[in-house]
Structure 1
């Protein structure tokens, strides 16, 4: 038994990264060296992205054959592309994980931390839920997955404000303050025809988001449900208090559901794992928990 050879869980490791990010070349070189030193029989492939959306293409191609471990060396947005690429593959044994290398790493901070080489050596995996958002409007139907959260109203506008205002905690908090002063409510229509106005709507599969906020006490991304954090239209002072509470104490326990649907009455921005998309008016939005959809380590 002492000479037993263990069959590896992965036939290769694929590193997907943005070469334009400062220091990335050295980071990938060090990572490959670390993996090959600890696991000399491992095949490690480094694949650089060349344009926005390229990580999704690379992940889709990598997921088609064999049993790869696909590692996104990125922030939340890059990992979102990799996750969607794997989900594009109709049948796959691919396993995904992320190593933080971006401005926003909410997903990484919310997941249990494991030493990478040890996790690869053990080959143990776990299943986690994804959020599946379906947008159906005049231009047809679009389906996308989120590993962490989907936000409407305040959340994507904060992301846009931060992007325009510059990086760094002080600049980002100033950008958030400016965003609060210019926020306009958005109106949704439920299936029963009732309408409601919101300043913010967040559907979260993790407990932390927007870098500094804790949106829920719950952190169980594999139970087939997600948390719904709403802020009906109110005064700016109430939005500011909610933001301050998220940054400091957290928002506490939130309602959990397996699906959430509405129709937009006006065009609104939407943030999916850090990437902002614009949803036209009269779009039917369905968000569902895709239970155990992703295999990760």
Structure 2
């Protein structure tokens, strides 16, 4: 079996030791090529070339959720196919939502052992993914979440902080979420987003809109956060939205987001849908947009679709 190991050396918890251990372990059973990313989008380019070659059986992503997202988008450049290389993931970022949602250990060395065991056993599953489309730009696949509005604004602030030298930590995300909350007073009470689902009356006034391909939505340290507990890799997309964000309302919602036994956040300002095949989020003004924690700038409209059985993953 021929494999490509894509390494993001700048990922939060990726070290040269982790890369060497993984490369050595994989090279004992596979014909392995190792490639380190050098620029944004490089992992996508490497995975695209691997898929186009027709000679690579497995692409292993060592990095965070952003690296995984790039690899997935590279593999799916021409769309899903039974002939695409399989995907394997070794977590190397700060949160690693996708890897943890697959049930992999969050420690890269332990995850390497789990990957080797899965390869030896021939263990894999075919998962569904989300796809986001905006006019005039390429479609973007996502593995666990996308956001339009408030949460994407938080992601943008975090990326800006990281460019100024701050390390990606859960504390940084919480800090920027609080700052963004108090800086977005106008949109907290009158949301500009309209949700349009085919055959359903539009829902206006969303402040927050989180699209989920699986659950949990994210992690706060070791605590999973459940925006859409029913979301999964075997269904289409879920949506969680809020039509108003007040301090009191957020304090009521946070315990619901952290409750694994609950059916998800509830309340008069909550908008929740499960297993949507397609829908559109529209805003009269441009709003921030993100997929898998990667800020993609601002948009007026984004169309989403769930694509079942899109990619084979080693687990």
Matches within 5 A, 1:5-154: 11-21=1-11, 24-37=15-28, 39=29, 42-64=30-52, 65-89=54-78, 92-113=83-104, 115-136=114-135, 140-154=136-150
Aligned to 1:220: 232
CA contact (8 A) 2:44 2:70 kept: yes
Q: Highest CA radius of gyration, 1 or 2?
A: 1
CA shift at 1:241, angstroms?
3.2
**Count of residue pairs the alignment pairs up:** 278
CA contact (8 A) 2:289 2:299 kept: no
Q: Cα–Cα, structure 1 residues 179 and 221, in superposed 2: closer, same or farther, change >3 Å?
A: same
CA shift at 1:250, angstroms?
7.5
User: Which one of the candidate residues 287, 291, 294 is aligned to 2:304?
Assistant: 287
Matches of 1:250 and 1:229 in 2, distance apart?
A: 17
| Alignment gaps of 5+ in structure 1 | 1-10
CA RMSD of aligned residues (A): 2.5
Q: Cα–Cα, structure 1 residues 51 and 280, in superposed 2: closer, same or farther, change >3 Å?
A: same
Scaled by the length of structure 2, the TM-score of the pair is 0.79
CA shift at 1:280, angstroms?
2.9
CA shift at 1:106, angstroms?
0.8
Matches of 1:169 and 1:23 in 2, distance apart?
A: 17
Matches within 5 A, 1:181-220: 181-183=182-184, 184=187, 185-188=191-194, 190=196, 194=202, 196-212=204-220, 213-220=225-232
Q: Cα–Cα, structure 1 residues 95 and 263, in superposed 2: closer, same or farther, change >3 Å?
A: same
Matches of 2:175 and 2:230 in 1, distance apart?
A: 29
Matches of 2:297 and 2:157 in 1, distance apart?
A: 15
Residue-by-residue CA offset, 1:126-154 (whole Å, 9 max, x unaligned): 11001011112xxx243111011111222
Matches of 2:122 and 2:90 in 1, distance apart?
A: 17
CA shift at 1:272, angstroms?
0.1
1:173 lines up with 2:186 in the alignment: no
CA shift at 1:23, angstroms?
5.1
1:276 lines up with 2:287 in the alignment: no
Matches of 1:56 and 1:155 in 2, distance apart?
A: 24
Residue-by-residue CA offset, 1:228-265 (whole Å, 9 max, x unaligned): 11111242431343245324557634531111123321
Aligned to 1:229: 240
CA shift at 1:119, angstroms?
1.2
Matches of 1:197 and 1:107 in 2, distance apart?
A: 30
CA shift at 1:124, angstroms?
3.1
Residue-by-residue CA offset, 1:162-214 (whole Å, 9 max, x unaligned): 44275434443233222221233333263789561112111101112343222
Aligned to 2:107: none
